Amino acid sequence: MGVKYTLRSAGPNRPELERVLEHYRSAGDAERYRAACFLIGNMRGRYTLSGPSLDRYYAEMARFYERPGIDYFAQKAFQDSLFASEPYFSDLEVTPDARSVSAAYLIDRIESAFSVRNSPWAADLGIEEFCEYVLPYRFGNEELEPWWETCRERFGPGLDSLTYPAGDLSECMRQFSLGVNRYFKGLRTYNGYPSGRPTPKPSSLMQMLGGTCDDSQIVYMAIARTYGMPVARDFTPQWGNHANGHSWVGMVHKDSTYHCTLDEMARPAGVKQFAYRLAKAYRWTESPDGPGVVERGLFPPRPGDLPGWLMSPRLKDVTGVYVPVTDVSVRLRPGRGRSRYVVFSAFDNRDWVPLCAARRRGRRATFREMGYPVVMLPQYYRNGGLTVAGWPVLVDSTGRAKELIPDLEHRETVHLTRKFMERSPRKFVAMLQGGVFELSDNAAFRNALRLEIPASVGMNYQTLEIGGGRRYRYVRYLPPAGGTGDIAEIELYGSDGAQLTGGRVIGTYIPKDQGTPMANVFDGATLTYAAHEKGQEAPVPWLGLDLGRAVELSKLCYLPRTDDNFIREGEEYELCYWDGEGWSSLGRQIGRRVTQELVYDNVPAGALLILHNHTKGKEERIFTYENGRQVWW
């Protein structure tokens, strides 16, 4: 069916496609003929984007990589400069594969794939699995090229010599990961841009020092398929408790799936710990005739009933492959905007973003195989518009669901120290534990006053009292051994309580990179920090300040490396709760350095909350208040 459809739509290119089919039909090779039918039969919706701006992009990238001494920061700045004026790719044209792919290209791809048919991963695959996960010739809408040849040329010296123990899939994956990681050590990721950016060619991406998760996913898949590894494009469109989504490679072998990324060891899917909570995971498949991820019944969704990507028949739900799942049944409210389908939306720091969908059954809807814990909002969707369909639903760590309905009759007092989850700041605080400050009147720090950082160090400004009447000229910080010594700020205060300014930065830190010099610790900017090169042992790393003269000090304040989401002095905040239709204000307050917290006495019990900063910043996260603390969702 698919082959006939493609041939009918191929136009002048039909003879090229028929040549591929006849090539394998006449050779009597049943598997290769099925492979040819698979590629041609699944061309519907496959296309290449091309145009002058994309040609210019590749040319500028090629010139960039010819420069000596480039690093991640240079690459990031270069990419930013390319997309500084939107829209960069405004002149692109669509060329369907059915009307453009040559017979030579398809035959070359089929032969390359079958050359690794007996690899440790592909030897015992059925032809259907082999075609789905090893054979495909493209990854998105990129300009087609024989990427398998590029992979052999670039990575062959390191990967061709690897040996894989028969029957030990885990060890095979470990060996392959080690082989690939040699080429991408220190790879860094950043958010993608612009939104309409075409899929880059694999050969260009293989030069990268940094890129989006989609970029690294393509590179890994290209290498993996070159060596016969069955891989798929897995992703989540939106984290359950963080902004943005993520994509990665799923190595699929019969009943086993491994989570794979560049510069990271492959891990069994059920063992992999994600950076954030995975509420939904999907897989892009090759077939355009799959069942999709939305129940269709007698009345399948029509255009406008759901976000277009959710209606794709190429989509497969694989959430249960990666995390425990549960079915969540929710109550729906009647009224305007009601439709036959309901979306379940996750919060992306600013708005609710549809993550999955279900058919409405009267005043209820059941969303299948949800990852948890998570807070989700049921919404009606109609032609791009969203309306509230029910109360936010909290699915706890046991998979039990409850509605977050504010109790307006019972109010509580809350103490707020942050507007955003503390996952990263907790790591930053741990970097300081075991560190020491030393104050001295001599540059050799003989008989120095030692101030140890307590184990209870917090995520905001911390204060160490000095006193004692002594005078000091030199101050330094010695980080705990084995780390990179990350620290954001050090402030010194005289006996009159005023902050001291000036002085000369001293120390032995060898900066981790150009963005982490010692001077960052004394620049008054909370988001900059100093860090020394990991593994530095000699000279012993430390950083500090020569005040130029001995002075009496009253206190030392320091700030761990931070995301700047704690309560800041002079900044205006507003606490809101979800009232069933939207966010309702509980009042505004100005942050104070003395307390570094906000206190609200009128908060409805059991409410879903969010704290806005109206002065600056964009990271804000929903939370509940439980047992005297903020619980982030």
Residue 604's pLDDT is 98
In words, the CATH class of domain 423-559 is mainly beta
CATH number of 52-91+115-276: 3.10.620
CA distance 2 to 527: 54
Residue 632's pLDDT is 97
Q: DSSP states of 499-554 as a string? A: BP---EEEE---BSSTT--GGGGGSS-TT--B-BPTT--SSPP-EEEEEEEEEEEE
Residue 297's pLDDT is 66
Residue 85's pLDDT is 67
Residue 467's pLDDT is 83
Measured from the Cβ of residue 498, the count of other Cβ atoms closer than 10 Å reads 9
Residue 523's pLDDT is 96
Residue 489's pLDDT is 98
Partner residues linked to 120 by β-bridges:
none
Q: In a 10 Å sphere around its CB, with 0-12 CB exposed, 13-18 middle and 19+ buried, how is residue 539 labelled?
A: exposed
Q: DSSP states of 455-487 as a string? A: TT--SS-EEEE--SS-EEEEEEEEPPTTS---B
Q: What φ, ψ does residue 129 adopt, rounded to 5°?
A: -65, -40
Q: What φ, ψ does residue 189 adopt, rounded to 5°?
A: -115, 155
* Token digits of residue 57: 């992009």
Residue 211's pLDDT is 79
Pairing verdict, β 543-559 and 407-416:
unpaired
CA distance 23 to 405: 66
Residue given tokens 């047992």 in the structure block = 627
Q: Which residues of the chain have pLDDT under 70?
A: 1, 85-86, 186, 190-196, 297-299, 335-337
Q: State the sign of the Cα–Cα–Cα–Cα dihedral 475, 480, 484, 485.
A: negative
* Token digits of residue 195: 């939104």
Looking at CATH, the fold of the domain delimited by 308-403 is given as Immunoglobulin-like (2.60.40)
Residue 196's pLDDT is 66
Residue 149's pLDDT is 97
pLDDT 10s digits, 149-166: 999 999 998 898 888 888
Residue 316's pLDDT is 96
Q: Is 617 left (phi over 0), alpha (psi -120 to 50) or beta?
A: left
Those residues with Cβ within 8 angstroms of residue 377's Cβ, 6 or more apart along the chain or in another chain: 344, 345, 347, 352, 388, 390, 392, 393
Per-residue 3-state assignment (H helix, E strand, C coil) for 250-319 = EEEECCEEEEEECCEEEEECCCCCCCCCCCCCEEECCCCCCCCCCCCCCCCCCCCCCCHHHHCCCEEECH
Cα–Cα distance list, 347 to 282, 377, 421 (Å): 18, 8, 13
Pairing verdict, β 325-331 and 364-371:
antiparallel
